[in-house]
Amino acid sequence: MRYSFLSLLKNGLTGQSGWKPAWRDAAPKPAYDVIIVGGGGHGLATAFYLASEHGIRNIAVIEKGHIGSGNAGRNTTIIRSNYLLPGNEPFYEWSMKLWEGLEQALNYNAMVSQRGILNLYHSDAQRDAYARRGNAMRLAGADSELLDRDGVRAMYPFLDFDNARFPIQGGLAQRRGGTARHDAVVWGYARAADQLGVDIVQNCEVTGFLTEGDAIVGVETSRGAIRAKKVGLAVAGSSSRVAKQAGLKLPLESHVLQAFVSEGLKPLVDGVITFGAGHFYISQSDKGGLVFGGDIDGYNSYAQRGNLPVVEDVAESGMALMPRIGRLRLLRMWGGIMDMSMDGSPIIDRTPRPGLYLNSGWCYGGFKATPASGWCFAHLLATDADHATATAFKLDRFRTGHLIDEKGVGAQPNLH
């Protein structure tokens, strides 16, 4: 069934009795052409683009829980392409372009809202760095606009410009940035992939790999062995644990990233704002709650929950930027498991094991990268060649020295 005004009208007149499940709850078959491990946004997007762009439809997406129960449903929903380095910016700009056509491609309302993102600066040096980044964005075809203090005040007059510990001097705006509904992105890709014949197998945990010599030829799961010509891993913060079952040690660390939602308010923040003097970012959901977050917890963990010191740090940054939010009550908070790479940039590449491919290392950038990640990983799985925008995301760059250190902080995963 194609979603449209006519389908809404028809079902409205017939007691909403004609709707069908958005996707099948498939049982695993003995063998597939491609198995994608991980039923989040990246895994489902990969399956969709394999089917829609490359004609490969004998695919299974295997998820140990229910789809979207990992990081795809545990983030602050921001989409943007405001990166500096040539290894990153073309990829994220391609992702932004895919976001702009996503709802039409999937025939699903993913609630993509290009409400704009504003990165604040608080010093002359930070202004110069943002000007450099804005120029790099323009060279890659993205939009950018460097605003002075008055330009920021015209957008957000309620920010603390004069009395804050870090006075606001201006900001770098990307008008095409914004937010998307994370759950809807997962559901849209799942529905579209299912309609192209992809099997979405939930409650199916990978417990090992089938091998022939060094080659990976399938997976062992809690629902039995499944063979495949190619296996792709898209399991975010669980990448190290799953890859270990194939005898691989990845240049990744797993850390918890917390996010928060306040009680509902009348419209206040109509875009996305990031604090330049601390790690804090905030937007407002369609239901009125303020959605915000900050730094990862500073130690390794696979737990989907955070700790109070980071809550305090995030609250302090928010109060420095917008003192008025101190009167708000938090409704809920949650944690996602970040796969932090050694240079803060992702990996989309073959592994040393033939037949096994890797999509990981997304750090803070996983949600915004969802469409391009799926597109480029599908291209790699289908053609065994790197997509033009993902040629720098090599697994061996940590050995060869071709790093993509966007923040320039070195091999310290928790600082990226």
What CA dihedral angle connects 327, 332, 338 and 342, to 10 degrees?
20
Q: Answer yes or no: pTM beyond 0.75.
A: yes
In angstroms, the CA 391 to CA 91 distance is 9
pLDDT at 369: 97
What would the pLDDT profile of 28-74 be if each residue is shown by its tens digit?
A: 999 999 999 999 999 999 999 999 999 999 999 999 999 999 889 88
pLDDT truncated to tens, each residue of the chain (416 aa)? 899 999 999 999 999 998 999 999 999 999 999 999 999 999 999 999 999 999 999 999 999 999 999 889 889 999 999 999 999 999 999 999 999 999 999 999 999 999 999 999 999 999 999 999 999 999 999 999 999 999 999 999 999 998 777 999 999 999 999 999 999 999 999 999 999 999 999 999 999 999 999 999 999 999 999 999 999 999 999 999 999 999 999 999 999 999 999 999 999 999 999 999 989 999 999 999 999 999 998 888 888 888 889 999 999 999 999 999 999 999 999 999 999 999 999 999 999 999 999 999 999 989 999 999 999 999 999 999 999 999 999 999 999 999 999 988 778 777 77
- Please count the residues of the chain: 416
The 3 state secondary structure assigned to the chain is: CCCCHHHHHHHHHCCCCCCCCCCCCCCCCCEEEEEEECCCHHHHHHHHHHHHHHCCCCEEEECCCCCCCCHHHCCCCEECCCCCCCCCHHHHHHHHHHHHCHHHHHCCCCCCECCCEEEEECCHHHHHHHHHHHHHHHHCCCCCEEEEHHHHHHHCCCCCCCCCCCCCCEEEEECCCEECCHHHHHHHHHHHHHHCCCEEECCCCEEEEEEECCEEEEEEECCEEEEEEEEEECCHHHHHHHHHCCCCCCCEEEEEEEEEEEEECCCCCCCEEEECCCCEEEEECCCCEEEEEEEEEEEECCCCCCCHHHHHHHHHHHHHHCHHHHHCCEEEEEEEEEEEECCCCCEEEECCCCCEEEEECCHHHCCCCHHHHHHHHHHHHHHCCCCHHHCCCCCCHHHHCCCCCCCCCCCCHHHC
Homologous superfamily of the 114-178+253-341 domain (CATH): D-Amino Acid Oxidase, subunit A, domain 2 (3.30.9.10)
Separation in Å, CA 82 to CA 342, 375, 393:
21, 19, 18
Nearest to 372 by CA among 40, 50, 45: 45
Q: Where are the domains of the chain?
A: 26-78+182-250+343-415, 114-178+253-341
CB atoms near residue 27 (< 10 Å):
10
Superfamily of domain 26-78+182-250+343-415: FAD/NAD(P)-binding domain (3.50.50.60)
